Chains A and B, each alone.
Chain A
Amino acid sequence: MGAGEYWNPKTETLGRDELVALQLAKLRRLCDWAAARSPFYQRSFKQAGFEPDQLRSLDDLRRLPMLTREQWMASQGERPPFGLLPVAGREAAIRWHTTSGTTGREPIRVLDTAKDWAWQAEMWCYGLWGFGVRPADTAYVAFGYGSFIGFWGLHYGMEKMGVLNIPGGAQTTEGRVKQIADFGATVVASTPTYALRLAQEAERLGVDLAAGPVQKLILSGEPAGSIPQTKALIERLWGATAGDTAGMTEIGTIMIFECRHQPGGTHIIEDHYIEEVVDPASGEPVGYGEPGERVVTSFGRGIIPLLRYRTADLVAKVPASRCSCGRGFDLYEGGILGRVDDMKLVRGTNVYPRAVEGIVREFDHVEEFQLRLTREGHFDRIALRVEPSPGLADAEWEDMAGRLAKALAEAHEGLRFEVERAAEGELPRFELKARRTVDKRDTPIGG
């Protein structure tokens, strides 16, 4: 590979042993920092009988207790508003962000210092450069620029790389499509769902995106960026290549990215993170290729040290050799596969929303869809509500619905999905994280 392939050739091409040695060196410093400054870790280290000088190899990482979201939330309740994890108060920070709140729970509140914020942009630079974005590009960021951290880091990463950046906040979808065309954007950043929404709107406006200058889409915020059928649809509608990334508010930025070789997975930025994959039930590590829960240790955000945080993301790690790009960074095959609690049990059959989306996206004329689970007496009912393209004739709909029901049943041990036609504009649209699964089985009647 040429020197221009990597943002940081020195560490991106390290071998496994050297990467592990670097991670251990950083981990020791991080643990010293947390033990000295964070009330949360002072308490949890003491309870676990852990002291930083016990770290002699990376295997000793498992001496540290894992941190859960519930513990973080309880900590926020114990010492509002930021909890006991931070090593300093708001006076030391320049940014305050929160989780997206899509789950309806109280959000996690995070702070960043000037150094932390600059590091977050740096992580995006690894991913953007790795996917082939270059200073000559013009990037359009289709993002609302609110308190959710979302693409904030990408914006600053683009600036740092010298990319001409267009912040697409406070716009209608129509306005964004027009700006993308008018400004001649070569790169567009959005969620996968919103990339589809933009394409639908472009078609309505008569804008031929596939014939336009957009060459790359940077996707984030949803697992769909690595669902092959969804990604193929996005790439076809835009006439561009789509690169998946994933991050989280708890670390402030991305931790994985797809390189331009598109190996069917996302590289872990292993010089800045330790990513463990564990059995969600036992907490024991699982091997390469086995699905498990992501547990992240981040060397970046200093004001909130993050050690062994249980993310509830479902992933399967594979070795770096699976990609031809020459990086030493391992990958998550298929990106983020979903959440460990995503799976729905319907009449004895496991239903994964990711798998359902993969089937739905193979069909043309799907404008939007929703998976709806209800209970009638003791009987679980699963319905796929589909909003087809405007003007789809009844006969075409009947044919599509029949084929969809058949494909879904065949993929789910014969489970019968009721495929229903939703009215135009009936189903919700999403700019950030889409929530297409509605499980009403435990909701009281009328709820």
Chain B
Amino acid sequence: MATTDLLGRPTTEVEDELLALYGRCKALLERDDLDPCVRAGARAATVGLWNAVNDLALEHEQLLDLGA
């Protein structure tokens, strides 16, 4: 399914890949059965990807409810 950025432009292949990774990291963080080392790593990864997703105007959202 084609997606667009916050400006309505079609996303690129790299942006689609980035969005998919970001979504998977967020989904992982939503689980309540993560060991501390996994949660910390998943949180760091999510935050790192959030910056790229935000910089590229793909999404702009808060992560507070995911503990980040």
Which chain A residues border B63 with CB–CB below 8 Å? 113-115, 302
A271 within 8 A of B: yes
B64 touches A25 (CB 8 A): no
A194 within 8 A of B: no
Chain A residue total in the interface (Cβ 8 A): 23
Of residues 6 to 64 in B, which have CB atoms within 8 Å of A's CB atoms? 6-7, 43-44, 46-48, 50-51, 54-57, 60-64
A10 within 8 A of B: yes
Of residues 101 to 118 in A, which have CB atoms within 8 Å of B's CB atoms? 113-115, 118
B57 touches A115 (CB 8 A): no
If A25-B57, A29-B61, A119-B51 are given as contacts, then 4 extra A-B residue pairs at C-beta distance below 8 Å, sorted by A number, are: A10-B56, A25-B60, A115-B62, A119-B54
| A369–chain B nearest beta-carbon distance, Å | 42
A50 within 8 A of B: no
Which chain B residues border A26 with CB–CB below 8 Å? 6, 60
11 chain-A/chain-B pairs, Cβ below 8 angstroms? A10-B57, A11-B55, A18-B7, A87-B64, A88-B64, A92-B64, A92-B67, A114-B63, A115-B68, A302-B63, A302-B64
**A302–B53 alpha-carbon span in the complex (Å):** 16
Set B6, B7, B47, B55: member contacting A115, Cβ < 8 A: B47
**A21–B4 alpha-carbon span in the complex (Å):** 14
A122 within 8 A of B: yes
Which chain B residues border A115 with CB–CB below 8 Å? 46-47, 50, 62-64, 68
A8 touches B55 (CB 8 A): yes
Q: Is the interface of A mostly helix, strand, loop or mixed?
A: helix
* A116-159 interface code vs B (CB 8 A; 1 in, 0 out): 00110010000000000000000000000000000000000000
A303 touches B64 (CB 8 A): yes
A26, A114, A115, A271 pick with most chain B CB within 10 angstroms: A115
B57 touches A302 (CB 8 A): no
A114 touches B47 (CB 8 A): yes
Which chain A residues border B57 with CB–CB below 8 Å? 10-11, 22, 25, 271
Which chain A residues border B50 with CB–CB below 8 Å? 115, 118-119
Q: What residue of chain A has the Cβ atom nearest to residue B12's Cβ?
A: A10
| B23–chain A nearest beta-carbon distance, Å | 16
Set B7, B43, B60, B61: member contacting A21, Cβ < 8 A: B7
| A424–chain B nearest beta-carbon distance, Å | 49
Which chain B residues border A33 with CB–CB below 8 Å? 62
A417 within 8 A of B: no
Which chain B residues border A113 with CB–CB below 8 Å? 63-64, 68
| B14–chain A nearest beta-carbon distance, Å | 11
A29 touches B7 (CB 8 A): no
**A114–B54 alpha-carbon span in the complex (Å):** 15
* A11-24 interface code vs B (CB 8 A; 1 in, 0 out): 10000001001100
**A11–B43 alpha-carbon span in the complex (Å):** 26
A114 touches B68 (CB 8 A): yes
Which chain B residues border A118 with CB–CB below 8 Å? 47-48, 50-51
**A21–B68 alpha-carbon span in the complex (Å):** 27
| A395–chain B nearest beta-carbon distance, Å | 59
Which chain A residues border B55 with CB–CB below 8 Å? 8, 10-11, 122, 271
**A154–B63 alpha-carbon span in the complex (Å):** 23
Of residues 328 to 383 in A, which have CB atoms within 8 Å of B's CB atoms? none
B56 touches A11 (CB 8 A): yes
Q: Assess A114 versus B43: contact at CB under 8 Å? Given A10-B56, A33-B62, A122-B51.
A: yes
A114 touches B44 (CB 8 A): yes
**A11–B57 alpha-carbon span in the complex (Å):** 8
Which chain A residues border B51 with CB–CB below 8 Å? 118-119, 122
**A268–B3 alpha-carbon span in the complex (Å):** 29
Which chain B residues border A299 with CB–CB below 8 Å? 60
A25 touches B68 (CB 8 A): no
| B50–chain A nearest beta-carbon distance, Å | 6
Set B7, B46, B67, B68: member contacting A22, Cβ < 8 A: B7
